[in-house]
Amino acid sequence: MSTTTQAASVDRLPRGPHRLSRDEVVSHQRERLLTAVAAAVAAKGYGPTTIGDITRRARVSRDTFYEQFASKEQCFLAAYDEMTSALLAEIVAVGTSQADYVDGVRDGIRAYLKFWSEHHDAARAFTIDILAAGEAAHAHRDRILDSMTRLFSSIATRAAAEQGGTPTVPPVVPRAIVVATVDLTTECVRHGRTGALPELEDDLVYLWLMGLAGHDTAARAVAG
């Protein structure tokens, strides 16, 4: 589910003859279904959402749904994986483009918060409802948390190379900070403040830099 697709309306394919290939038609239908499942789950919750809810939002038939996915769960997890993979790719792209790791942390956190603030349905579905979607969903969520943890650890390595004297980060710290980041995001979404997520920027910058390099570096970053 591309970020542009998530923001766009779920439109039908052109009526009548068109020049789209079969692969293009299938891809378009898939994107609509991935967008629709996030919207349906955000509106009703994972459990009550039906395949009918998804197909109505996507404006496709049930047969089309089953050509793409075996179940609601498979569709939901495909949407989760595509959205979170796009998010991580964006964080890495902006976070590694800065010459200084502190600026990289800020830009990465800013991208993370902006991403979710602009994708309200996905933010709710993939931070709150993912927790009610069963063991497979928990495993997918754990993989994303693991990826974010490895990202933090790579930043810690960069910080040590760029700034002498940074403390050695115990293995528990990256995971704890990632979990705290996700929890703070989820709390904001749960209270209907998804659009206000960018307001967490300084708090998260401090949290990440405190874990990486200590209070002085973190305090300077949010003060300046």
Angle at 155 between CA 153 and CA 156, to 5 degrees: 65
pLDDT band at 163 (very low <50, low <70, confident <90, very high): confident
pLDDT confidence of residue 2: 52
For 182, the token pair is 């996700």
Are 109 and 47 in the same domain?
no
Are 104 and 51 in the same domain?
no
Which CATH number covers residue 164?
Answer: 1.10.357.10
Mean predicted confidence (pLDDT) in 99-117? 95
User: Which of 21-35, 68-82, 110-124, 161-175 bottoms out in mean pLDDT, i.e. has the lowest?
Assistant: 161-175
Could you tell me the residue range of the domain that residue 16 belongs to? 3-72
For 148, the token pair is 């974010």
Mean predicted confidence (pLDDT) in 205-218? 91
Are 210 and 104 in the same domain?
yes
Give the CA dihedral 164, 169, 175, 181, nearest 10 degrees.
-40
Are the C-beta atoms of 133 and 76 separated by less than 8 Å?
yes
In this prediction the pTM is 0.86
- pLDDT tens for 15-50 read 555 566 777 878 899 999 999 999 999 999 999 999
User: Is pLDDT at 67 greater than 90 in this prediction?
Assistant: yes
Q: First-to-last CA distance in the chain?
A: 37
For 40, the token pair is 């349906």
Are 150 and 106 in the same domain?
yes
Are 27 and 126 in the same domain?
no
Are 157 and 218 in the same domain?
yes
Are 26 and 48 in the same domain?
yes
Phi, psi at residue 9, to the nearest 5°?
A: -75, 160
Distance separating alpha carbons of residues 5 and 9, to the nearest angstrom: 8
Number of H helices, E strands in the chain: 11, 0
Q: What is the mean pLDDT of the chain?
A: 89
